[in-house]
Structure 1
């Protein structure tokens, strides 16, 4: 089953200390481009998170947004820097005694000086953090893949229907091609009779040679065979379960090459119109393929 490169997923997970919320969205991209936005204190987990995303997504631009809510004790540790506080107090006492000032040294005064109160991040269990984050991310990625698969199913159905339409037109071109040579021979005969007197003997071998040259120049048998083969490969590829976006893109290019050759070889208006129809359908398929993983 093919997958679209467009999708969204959201997952939550919490333990006794924290709750992670992970949102993942993806859009089409030629390669696998992963962007992670998370609190700076957890950037050491970014590579692990990217590797987790790669397990779920093989192609596309994926943006991961991680938010954190603390539900346990605060994640910071506040303490008194006693040596610094003592030095501040000693200095204040010295100023008091030196200038005979009223002693108004208070806790609120000392606490306002820099570095007296230390605020430090609390030591955390990295394994517990990753376990919680991984759980939330896995839930989000699971929903993302589910959405991509659902949209991929619709894309495959649309492309498959267009393949059937193209195959029908190719059959019409194939049945029309021999008639083009016969019509050319008839026009050539009519033109000769129109220009020459009926008493003039016409060299049938020369006419046959001219028709043979024309038939060889406008022969599109090889192109039709290859075009049919590409259509069959395209339909089979839609049923594959692995990443097929680049393969489909290649097949569309080859189909365009063959139909352009048919268009350049044929001078028949009916075949030219068929060529235009197929090119129009191929362009629509190409646009769809650009969003397939």
Structure 2
């Protein structure tokens, strides 16, 4: 089953004094391009986050963000009372007549008045955060699956269109053979020379074999069926589908170079157009 590399997942959790939110965004990429943003307190868990996300999402340009919103009264920044008192005592020596309010206003503007206490990671809290991360990963996986269903329908439509165009192109085959025969006979008549009919038929068969598209038709049909079969498999399919489209393109191009028929060449151009639409969307497949 196809999954898209494009997706978005979000989950949050309310703790007693803060709200934890996890957002994961994903776009298409040749490999895994993972960017992780977390508050400093959770920085030591970044490697674990990377491993978890990589294991679940496999490929894509992925932005992982963990946000913390303080909702309680506690704060990691504290007023350094002893520093403020020290500043006031020093300024009282310099400005003996200043009142306490003025000294306080000046003191709170001085360096190191606020001290930030480094929080330690709470292991119990982190276990709960891991659950939020998994929930966000579940949400983005669901988003990718839904996008994959849309891609699958698009591929089925384009493959069906190519099959119809191929069938229509092959229907011109007998007309094409007669056109070649007529063209060759007209050329010989213009030369006004006698022709050995047996030799003419032999040369005509050799000439037509160079323009025979039977093998291309068979191989193209096999590649189209293989594309549809591969879509139904469970593993990551993007690269494999990309390789199959290359083989489809090779057969379509060969058919075009051999066609030697205006209407058939028009159909080949339409087949190429359908194939390009497939190639564009295959880049989004996981």
- Identify the TM-score tier after normalising by the shorter chain: 0.7 to 0.9
Do residues 233 (structure 1) and 226 (structure 2) align?
yes
Once the two structures are overlaid, the 10-residue window that deviates more, 69-78 or 141-150, is 69-78
Match of 1:221 among 201, 214, 227: 214
Contact 2:163/2:221 (<8 A) preserved: yes
Structure 1 residue 285: Cα displacement = 0.9
What is the SS of the residue equivalent to 2:33?
strand
Determine which of 256, 271, 275 is the counterpart of 2:264.
Answer: 271
Give the conservation status (yes or no) of the 8 Å contact 1:18–1:72: yes
Displacement of 1:79: 6.8
Q: Partner of 1:36 in structure 2? A: 36
Deviations 1:78-113 (A, max 9, x none): 37575x7897788679x58xx9x6797899489646
Alignment equivalent of 2:284, drawn from 276, 287, 291: 291
Q: 1:185 aligns with which of 181, 188, 209?
A: 181
In 2: Cα distance, 1:63 partner to 1:53 partner: 10
Which structure: larger Rg?
Answer: 1
Per-residue CA deviation, residues 36-79 of structure 1 (Å, 9 max, x unaligned), is 22333433232222222223312211112222112345241637
1:142 aligns with 2:138: yes
- Match for residue 22 of structure 2? 22
Q: What is the CA distance between 1:21 and its match in structure 2?
A: 1.1
Q: Which residue of 2 aligns with 1:203?
A: 196
Within 5 Å, which residues of 2 pair with 1:77-88?
78=78, 80=80
Moved more, 117-126 or 256-265: 117-126
| Higher mean displacement: 154-163 or 210-219 | 210-219
User: For structure 1, which runs of at least 5 residues remain unmatched after alignment?
Assistant: none
5+ residue gaps, structure 2, are none
Q: Identify the residue that residue 59 of structure 1 maps to in structure 2.
A: 59
Given candidates 130, 154, 157, the residue that maps to 1:161 is 157
After TM superposition, the score normalised by the length of structure 1 is 0.82
Deviation track 1:185-219 (CA, whole Å, cap 9, x = no partner) reads 233234434653xxx75311221122022112212
Query: Aligned partners of 2:27, 2:98: CA distance in 1, in Å?
Result: 68
Specify the alignment match of 1:244 in structure 2: 237
- Tell me the secondary structure at the aligned position of residue 2 of structure 1: coil
The alignment covers a number of residue pairs equal to 284
CA contact (8 A) 2:88 2:104 kept: no
The answer to whether the 8 A contact 1:45-1:130 is kept is: no
Any conservation in 2 of the 1:22–1:140 contact (CA below 8 Å)?
A: yes
Does the CA-based 8 Å contact 2:238-2:282 persist in structure 1?
yes
Alpha carbons 2:158, 2:274 under 8 Å: kept? yes
Residue pair 1:18, 1:71 contacting (<8 A) in 2 also: yes
Q: Which residue of 2 aligns with 1:121?
A: 117
RMSD: 3.0
Tell me, in whole angstroms, the C-alpha distance in 2 between the residues paired with 1:201 and 1:102: 131
User: Is 2:247 the partner of 1:254?
Assistant: yes
Kept after mapping to 2: 8 A contact 1:22/1:137 = yes
Which residue of 1 is the match for residue 147 of structure 2?
151
Instruction: Identify if the C-alpha distance between structure 1 residues 88 and 190 changes in structure 2 by more than 3 Å, giving closer, same or farther.
Output: closer
